[in-house]
């Protein structure tokens, strides 16, 4: 456990050597950028698989066609309000998987492959146009 004296010393040291600490941190990040990049990609892939597995109820699988290739699977907003929702929470791509995880996997999502997701969007678009409405 860190005492108040240690905390005060660390803070004072940081304030006195801020530029040097930042410069060393930047050098370290540049030196190890490939290793850091690979680790971030691995973590992102693991998070994506965890989210897809949760919404698939086990093995990641498209709810419509049954494809299991994780590279083409994505999360679909069941009610079709995905774009609006992602803008509201300020999260897209891999950050959206992090948001789902941090919010305890809220309901209203399903796993679809890119083709089924695009087909669903086009079908909904045509239905709304036929009704005289605007999609969105």
State how far Cα 4 lies from the chain centre: 37
13 falls within a domain? no
- Cα(109)–Cα(17) distance, rounded to whole angstroms? 48
Decide if 6 is inside a domain: no
Domain for residue 135, yes or no?
Answer: no
How many domains does one find in the chain?
A: 1
Return the percentage of the chain with pLDDT > 70, whole number: 97
Query: 112 in a domain, yes or no?
Result: yes
Task: Please check the confidence at residue 136 and state whether its pLDDT lies above 80.
Answer: no
Is 43 part of any domain? yes
Nearest residue to 80 (alpha-carbon basis) of 130, 132, 117? 117
Domain assignment of residue 1, yes or no: no
pLDDT band at 134 (very low <50, low <70, confident <90, very high): low
> Whole-number mean pLDDT of the chain?
89
In a domain, 2, yes or no: no
Mean pLDDT score, 115-133: 87
Per-residue pLDDT of 62-82, as tens digits, reads 999 999 999 999 999 998 777
Of 58-62, 89-93, 98-102, 113-117, give the lowest mean pLDDT range: 89-93
CB 115 within 8 A of CB 65: yes
Residue 116 lies in a domain: yes
Q: What is the pLDDT of residues 15-59, one digit of tens each?
A: 999 999 999 999 988 888 899 899 999 998 999 999 999 999 999
Write out the residue range of the structural domain in which residue 84 sits: 32-130
């Amino acid at each position: 456990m860190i005492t108040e004296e240690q905390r005060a010393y660390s803070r004072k040291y940081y304030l006195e050597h801020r530029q040097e600490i930042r410069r060393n941190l930047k050098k370290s990040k540049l030196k190890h950028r490939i290793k850091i990049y690979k680790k971030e990609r691995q973590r992102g892939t693991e998070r994506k698989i965890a989210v897809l597995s949760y919404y698939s109820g086990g093995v990641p699988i498209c709810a419509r066609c049954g494809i299991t290739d994780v590279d083409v699977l994505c999360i679909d907003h069941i009610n079709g309000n995905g774009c609006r929702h992602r803008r509201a929470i300020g999260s897209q791509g891999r950050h959206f998987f992090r948001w789902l995880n941090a919010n305890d996997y809220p309901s209203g999502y399903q796993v679809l492959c890119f083709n089924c997701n695009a087909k669903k969007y086009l079908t909904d678009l045509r239905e709304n146009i036929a009704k005289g409405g605007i999609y969105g």
